[in-house]
Amino acid sequence: MRIKKKWAVGLAVSVGLAMAMPATAAATCAPEATSQPFAALGDENHYFLAPGGDFEGGLSWTAWGNPTIVDGIGNGIDSGTRAVRLPQNAAITSPAICFDVDRPHIRLMARSLTANGTLRVDAIDASGEKNPLAKLDGANHQAWAASPFVNLDPRLELAATPSQLAKLRIIALTGHWLVDAVYVDPYTRG
């Protein structure tokens, strides 16, 4: 009889704890000031700028393969005049950014300087693992164009953790590229 009673109490406590747990992981990243940088392109979502993602203050991202800041560039969505130029095989990596289920994707502006270029966007998680997220085709970026929504989940498994720090890496696999206006889309709007 005692065993059944202990088992019943244990089961009740377990069920109570399970019911108290949220169905999805709670977001814990600090709120960021947002704007609508892609509104001129028909995207009314609110975004926050990735740290140094406008390149107006120079190249604060980690650089590999001799990327350079170029002046006099207008990307069509903001008043900035600088972008980063990535020669073939060059890459830039952002500082760590807090991502969670409320920050499901990013967007950026890109322009291929060659017809057959390929630009790849990766997320580098806290363990250093590189997770390919998207590839941009130079044929679709002969002029400045916004990337499609680059989804961070499921590659970063955002639903499984309250939040995590990850870095964005942008690499010119082939051809030469201009990159600017790297933004994160928080799920909440307005």
**CB-based contact 110:141 (threshold 8 Å):** yes
With a cut of 80, say whether residue 82 has pLDDT above it.
Answer: yes
Per-residue model confidence as pLDDT tens digits over 84-129: 999 999 999 999 999 988 887 999 999 999 988 999 999 999 999 9
Q: CA nearest 159: which of 27, 18, 20? A: 27
pLDDT above 90: percentage of residues in the chain: 64
State the Cα–Cα distance between residues 99 and 28, nearest whole angstrom. Answer: 9
With a cut of 90, say whether residue 161 has pLDDT above it.
Answer: no
CATH top-level class of 29-185: mainly beta
pLDDT above 70: percentage of residues in the chain: 83
Mean model confidence pLDDT for the chain:
85
Task: Tell me which of 27-31, 65-69, 183-187 is least confident.
Answer: 27-31
Q: Which residues pair with 130 in a beta bridge?
A: 124
With a cut of 50, say whether residue 184 has pLDDT above it.
Answer: yes
Task: Tell me which of 58-62, 90-94, 148-152, 174-178 is least confident.
Answer: 148-152
Predicted pLDDT of residue 18? 36
Q: CA nearest 102: which of 32, 18, 155? A: 32
Amino acid at 181: A
Mean pLDDT on 170-179: 98
**What predicted TM-score, i.e. pTM, was given to this entire model?**
0.82
Four-CA torsion 128, 130, 133, 138, nearest 10 degrees: 130
With a cut of 90, say whether residue 2 has pLDDT above it.
Answer: no
Q: Would you give the distance in Å from CA 131 to the centre of its chain?
A: 11
112: helix, coil or strand? Answer: strand
What is the enclosing helix (H) or strand (E) of 17?
A: helix 2-20
